[in-house]
Amino acid sequence: MATDWIISNGLRLAKMKKESIRGMKKIFPEHVVLENPIDLTGDADVERYRVAIDAALKDDNVDMIAIITLFQIPTLTAEITDVVSSFAERGKKPIVVIAAGGRFTEVLKKSMEDFGVPTFSYPEKAAKALRALYDYRLAKSGS
């Protein structure tokens, strides 16, 4: 759904460099999908997110990052909020988080928002925000 909303907002998914994909392939289990959108799968842990976000930030073909987190899975700890927030604080590329859930999810989303990470419960709002960031960058650069 997130991919559909991104495309319907006139954006396109990045095609990561082969080096980025190879680097993640060496670390991740075979069942992780490394085509864009990257699917870390339901057994993802904080380290898997850390590696994927780092690879996307370093890849020149990636302009923005939308992270979908499922805080309910047992392998993903609350440390993910620190990881995402620390990457976002570096300010190299815009990062948004999409996370739906109950009270626990809302607490973790609030933690990231306190560090300036935009969070959304629904992918359509995140896609609109990414489009607004893209348009702002174009206007700012005069293109």
- Looking at residue 143, its pLDDT comes to 58
pLDDT reported for residue 91: 82
Peptide bond into 94 cis (omega under 30): no
pLDDT tens, residue by residue, 33-71: 998 899 999 999 999 999 999 999 999 999 999 999 988
User: What domains can you pick out in the chain, each with its CATH number?
Assistant: 2-136 (3.40.50.261)
State which residues of the chain have pLDDT below 50. none
Left if phi > 0, otherwise alpha if psi is -120 to 50, otherwise beta: which for 13? beta
Can you give the pLDDT at residue 104? 92
